[in-house]
Amino acid sequence: MGLIVQKFGGTSVGSVEKILNVAQCVKEEKERGNNVVVVVSAMGKTTDKLVNLAKELSSQPSKREMDMLLTTGEQTTIALLAIALQEKGLDAVSYTGWQAGILTEPVHSNARITKIQTTSIEKQLADGKVVVVAGFQGVTETGEITTLGRGGSDTTAVALAAALGADRCDIYTDVTGVFTTDPRYVKTARKLLDISYDEMLELANLGAGVLHPRAVEFAKNYHVKLEVRSSMEKIEGTVIEEEATLEQNLIVRGVAFEDQITRVTVLGLANSLSSLSTIFTTLAEHHINVDIIIQSKTESEMTNLSFSIKTNDLNETLAVLENNKSLLNYDRIEAENELAKVSIVGSGMISNPGVAAKMFEVLAFSQVEIKMVSTSEIKVSAVVEEKNMVKAVEALHDSFELGEKHN
């Protein structure tokens, strides 16, 4: 008897009919002789509705209370799915994050899992029960309820698979696997048969919404066998493993993109050895994620510093910098909104020089201005105007021959 962890996203449990479909999928896995742990998200647009309710009461609601509010979405789904499973003749029990033993760091709205105490789940599995766990949530050592950030149910599933020593973790979603880019924007996007942990981690970090980055990180670190597959169609999905073996001819494996990016520029920064560390330490202490960084010296021996952030973090970033102006010792701050980040990813780039040059050439030919650039061994990212995002993605996807017509 094996152990399978299954995760179903919000669209897969968005109605009673869909919950019954999930229950049938779980039953079929159970009938194959496996123990099953199921992780679910909140139904459909529940999280967005709860966020909007809170915003009707406050423009900046407390992060603690938002965690308390948002976790009710998953709690609804686990109870409904457990009821559906029981109606199908399966012995099932639902667990919230804290009941499942998922411990996190004391950070509201974007906590990391620190430990999973699996005793309760293992006891229920030993009794032959299907355990339905609320994704996206956990609890601190002091009993505070936390959430793992949007998409955190993926992380819950993979972390549980690692902690329980599961044979496989299946991520069920509304698409049939991992595509070369988002098929909702690029019609020629093609499903990949497999992809490496490193490539998937880059794509997830760079905006590909099919998997949460922390989930891929867990899978890589703990060698969890992962498959992204459709909750509606009984077909093979995309296998995520240490090294992709089925499609080694592609230098670039995918194009990722992300809108709502802002470039923040700190002007007139004192040119000292500690200036950079002081600024980014200060931002990190407030859990503000900084992405692409560019530094330049001025003729007056001062330093200008630009970095990109999520637009949603702009107000908090400006407040943190302003509150620490005397410590950071800068002249003024400028911000440019309505930007996007477009990236190409592929492990084949390591041994194929000239990929970045081709990317810049393609964007120039498409009349897309590049604002910032970032590179690593297996990715190149460019910040562009948001209005040019889709045009840039389509041009890159076509130029690197990723679409259906090239295969």
What CATH number does residue 79 fall under?
Answer: 3.40.1160.10
Residue 1: pLDDT band with limits 50, 70, 90 = confident
Residue 22 lies in a domain: yes
CATH number of the domain residue 383 falls in: 3.30.2130.10
Residue 221 lies in a domain: no
The domain tally of the chain equals 3
Q: What is the pLDDT of residue 247?
A: 63
Boundary residue ending a domain (283, 311, 336): 336
- Same domain for 46 and 94? yes
- Same domain for 9 and 130? yes
Cα separation, 163 vs 230, in Å, equals 25
- Please tell me which residue, 391 or 208, carries the higher pLDDT value: 391
| Mean pLDDT value across residues 71-82 | 98
Q: Do the Cβ atoms of 132 and 92 come closer than 8 Å?
A: yes
Residue 202 lies in a domain: no
- Same domain for 266 and 384? no
Model pTM score: 0.83
Q: What is the pLDDT of residue 246?
A: 61
- Please tell me which residue, 157 or 274, carries the higher pLDDT value: 157
pLDDT at 34 over 80: yes
- Same domain for 366 and 379? yes
pLDDT at 301 over 80: no
Residue 256 lies in a domain: no
| Mean pLDDT value across residues 81-91 | 98
Residue 296: pLDDT band with limits 50, 70, 90 = confident
Residue 406: pLDDT band with limits 50, 70, 90 = very low
Residue 229 lies in a domain: no
The two beta strands, 35-40 and 130-134, are parallel
Running DSSP on this structure, what letter comes out for residue 174? S
Residue 253 lies in a domain: no
Residue position matching structure tokens 């002007």: 267
Boundary residue ending a domain (336, 365, 383): 336
Cα separation, 203 vs 218, in Å, equals 15
What is each CA distance from 138 to 71, 292, 329, in whole angstroms?
A: 9, 31, 39
- Same domain for 392 and 273? no
| Mean pLDDT value across residues 32-39 | 97
CATH number of the domain residue 315 falls in: 3.30.70.260
Residue 97 lies in a domain: yes
Burial of 58 (0-12, 13-18, 19+ CB in 10 A): exposed
Residue 248: pLDDT band with limits 50, 70, 90 = low
- Same domain for 290 and 402? no
- Fill in the amino acid letter for 66: M
- Same domain for 19 and 114? yes
Q: Please give the residue range of the domain that contains residue 376.
A: 340-406
- Same domain for 164 and 295? no
Boundary residue ending a domain (275, 304, 336): 336
Residue 165 lies in a domain: yes
Cα separation, 386 vs 173, in Å, equals 27
Q: Which two tokens stand for residue 306?
A: 């630009």
- Same domain for 349 and 328? no
The per-residue pLDDT for range 174-219, each reduced to its tens digit, is 889 999 999 999 999 999 999 999 999 999 989 888 888 889 999 9
Of 303, 277, 273, whose CA–CA distance to 290 is shortest? 277
Beta strands (DSSP E) in 149-205 are 168-173, 194-196
- Same domain for 396 and 291? no
- Same domain for 52 and 162? yes
- Same domain for 27 and 161? yes
